[in-house]
Amino acid sequence: MKDKICLITGGSAGIGLATALGLAKLGATIIIASRDHQRGVKAKEFIKEQTKNNAVEYLPVDLASFSSINQMVEDFNSRYGKLDVLINNAGVYYSKLSFTKDNIEMQLGVNYLAHFLLTYLLLESLKGAAHLRIINVTSRFHFQGRIHFDNLFLRNNYHGLRAYCQSKLANVLFTYELAEKLKGTNTTVNCLHPGTVRTKIGNSNATGLYPFFCNFCKPFLISPQKGAKTSIYLASSDEVREVTGRYFQKCKPVRSSKLSYNKEIALKLWKESETLTGIRFL
């Protein structure tokens, strides 16, 4: 991975940090994109110390703000002339209905639409890139998801897990549709389930039974290091250099949910996503 530039959202903690650490060990240039400045800088220094790789940078971005995402891409473009790997890793969980700065339901906004917009902006600025791998971190929870087009923000009868499952299904639908649109180019697009990982997602935003459930399950969850293995594999392995439009688990392509292959749903979500982000993607 020497001379390869990897941008990882949510790279300052959990699976994202473990992914950044693993790729830095392989010699990659790492760009951590996350909201918390103090944690981002701390993660940058930690990776440098652990790997003796000084090619690690931090770019601030609030994925709950489209203007912040635009600013981060401008910052990236001013410093770098290429990108080899984009890992859309960041995710949130909210038990109560919350909204981004652009008035979009928080989980749909951060887990999915932020990465839809970020990917678009980077593709626009990197036209003619030698080879770009786009990797979307999703979850097996997408099997329980459906896209609620008649109530996309779930204002009526909101439930945190329902919103989370919807956002993760959106990640998979986006992966397949973008892979199809980019066929014949030098860009591949894949997604993955990292496993049921011991992270702090939702710790400060969850109420009710969710924190209790997480604490109860902790002994049975895998470490962020194990959860990062498939992301690292998709970012670095020559075996998947030309593979696109697949869903991976434990570094192997597997079948995703039946709904995730529904072309009509994918196209409808794509159009809705363009409307919500104010862009015309491909």
Task: Give φ, ψ of 39 to 5 degrees.
Answer: -70, -35
Residue 220 lies in a domain: yes
- Is there a contact between 221 and 194 (Cβ–Cβ < 8 Å)? no
- β-strands 29-34, 85-88 pairing: unpaired
CATH of the domain at 121: 3.40.50.720
Residues with active-site annotation: 164
pLDDT tens digits for 61-86?
999 999 999 999 999 999 998 999 99
- pLDDT interval class at 10 (50, 70, 90): very high
Residues 200, 198: Cα–Cα separation, whole Å: 7
Give the pLDDT band (50/70/90) at residue 197: low
The amino acid present at 87, given as its one-letter code, is I
If one compares 126 and 104, the residue with the highest pLDDT of the two is: 104
Of 266 and 217, the structure prediction assigns the larger pLDDT to 266
Q: How many independent structural domains does the chain possess?
A: 1
**Domain of residue 37, residue span:** 5-277
Q: Is residue 24 part of a domain?
A: yes
Q: What average pLDDT does the segment 196-202 reach? A: 54
Please indicate, yes or no, if residue 282 is contained in any of the structural domains: no
In a domain, 36, yes or no: yes
Per-residue pLDDT, 199: 54
pLDDT of residue 195: 72
The average confidence (pLDDT) of the chain is 91
